[in-house]
Structure 1
């Protein structure tokens, strides 16, 4: 799907609301998440709630992304969290690499039914299998190789899922293929271990917005609390957050 810029006044908030995501909840996401969504990227893994044909409310978690229809209207596509990744199309060695968080090259079935080579990786947040056609990442790798003066052996290593550490201005920098990144290539200041450990999405325990707060539990799950439901603990945390922000502003 083609990525493009989406303005927030054209987003399908009624469609999101049917899945338990109100406009207030979306607008209270951190700015970095809103920028990602507005550029056609994926949302964080968020709680969703739907009512089935029997009237039962089902709670789950999902990412979403916006697409532009032929009519010019904006619609939303959900990427639900799965209990396990569908890896039956990959051999044992490939499954081991994928479950280890690496991106691999494999044959995949495209949306039009054709089979083609693609970089494949598991989204840790949803356990969905992501893929990007190899020419797209290969093009970005070619540009990277020219800029960083990398050889064929080094590029091949990255194509096989191994991050590469180089020295820039006397400091180690590690680069590798990661389909979570906008270009499919992620940089990290530090060695390969730092690159492996670098979080894909950085969240505080409390993220306060205009209408409520996104809270992250010990397992990394996000849940939303509207301001009218704040506990004394949340009011205290909001006060501390405001004081930290003021102190940061004064020191700039």
Structure 2
């Protein structure tokens, strides 16, 4: 089951609806998020709800990603928020590094039972353990090393989860492995502390779509409000958003 490009029209909306995610909710996500989903990448942490065996509604939060099955049909895989990360397969030193937010090199078991080297890291929002095959990140690190003229010591540090701070145009810039990003490598203006603080994707408090609005709460969680349930506050925010967009268009 390989990750490939998807079209919005072919996404498995009936399956998503069973988990409380309607087509309108998905289409109202920001375009950058939709592009990432159609590239087979992880979604932000979204709210889901299902009925348990007693018929009661259970609410949870999860990332999701689309895959293409062997028969060519699109499907969805969920990566729910966990209470703690499953780290029993890693030794004590590796667990310490992972819990500190660092990427490590480790042996992972593939779907067919074989073992392979991969970069491993904990997703701070779901506590899921992510892994990416070594050659993919290794190639990107090689390109990075050539562009920035990095030596073996600096690359070795990056491979072992240590962000690297450089001076560019007399300003500090930090780079490190982040498996949530498209290339597996993330840049940040500032020092290592700034780099570590920028692990969560940035969202506006209100993200208005065609059918409703994604609202980010004080706890950083996203929830969806359909237009028919807008409060006076949301109507006012939508008006302000429209005015800002019109002003921005006039100044282009």
TM-score, normalising length: structure 2: 0.95
Equivalence map 1:64-75=2 (5 Å): 64-75=64-75
Q: What CA distance in whole angstroms lies between the structure 2 residues aligned with 1:118 and 1:70?
A: 24
Aligned residue for 1:76, secondary structure, equals strand
Equivalence map 1:149-168=2 (5 Å): 149-168=149-168
Asked if the contact 2:79/2:126 (under 8 Å) is kept, the reply is: yes
Structure 2, unaligned stretches of length 5 or more? none
Asked if the contact 2:154/2:164 (under 8 Å) is kept, the reply is: yes
The residue aligned with 2:2 is 2
Kindly report structure 1 stretches of 4+ aligned residues shifted beyond 6 Å.
none
Aligned residue for 1:65, secondary structure, equals strand
Greater shift, 95-104 or 26-35, is seen at 95-104
The residue aligned with 2:89 is 89
The residue aligned with 2:78 is 78
The residue aligned with 2:129 is 129
The residue aligned with 2:38 is 38
Equivalence map 1:1-252=2 (5 Å): 2-252=2-252
Asked if the contact 1:19/1:50 (under 8 Å) is kept, the reply is: yes
- How many residues are aligned here? 252
Asked if the contact 1:105/1:159 (under 8 Å) is kept, the reply is: yes
Aligned residue for 1:119, secondary structure, equals strand
Q: What CA distance in whole angstroms lies between the structure 2 residues aligned with 1:2 and 1:74?
A: 10
Q: Name the Cα RMSD after superposition.
A: 1.4
Aligned residue for 1:125, secondary structure, equals coil
Q: What CA distance in whole angstroms lies between the structure 1 residues aligned with 2:184 and 2:3?
A: 14
Write the deviation string for residues 201-228 of structure 1: whole angstroms up to 9, x where unpaired: 1101111111001111111111100000
Asked if the contact 1:6/1:39 (under 8 Å) is kept, the reply is: yes
- Cα deviation for residue 199 of structure 1 reads 4.0
Aligned residue for 1:60, secondary structure, equals strand
